[in-house]
Copies of this chain bind each other. A is one copy, B any other.
Amino acid sequence: MADPLSRVFSALADPTRRDIVARLAVADATVNELAAPYDVTVQAVSKHLKVLEDAGLVSRSREAQRRPVHLEAEVFDLMTTWIERYRRQAEERYRRLDDVLRAMPDADPPPQEGRPS
């Protein structure tokens, strides 16, 4: 699974990982701090962090023997760009469809047009 977009989406598909991101948005934290709230082993959390790191969502710097984890928020743009693109496209399509329906040449009269909001 090479492509970055897949990695990011996949990384955020896990609730624990999303929660970790949420907490890192507040403040950097060490692996042990991050693992504390969950009832899984520290190793499991370390794995989660590796997934987040591979997705570019997180970076670990070395500070003495601790490895503080830091949220790398730029990658979010990758997703929002993708999402917005197709959301817009779909909305545009609605608009166009409405136009077509409204301009119906002589077909059966469209009652009040189907898609209000």
Residues of A within 8 A of B (CB): 3, 5-6, 9-10, 12-15, 18, 21-22, 24-27, 61, 63, 70-71, 73, 76, 79-80, 82-84, 86-87, 89-91, 93, 114-115
Which B residues lie within 8 Å of A10 (CB)?
9-10, 13
This chain: how many copies in the complex? 2
CB of A79, distance to nearest CB on chain B (Å): 6
- Looking across the interface, which residue of chain B has its beta carbon closest to that of A27? B93
- Looking across the interface, which residue of chain B has its beta carbon closest to that of A84? B80
- The CA of A9 and the CA of B83, in the complex, are separated in Å by 11
CB of A44, distance to nearest CB on chain B (Å): 17
- The CA of A73 and the CA of B87, in the complex, are separated in Å by 6
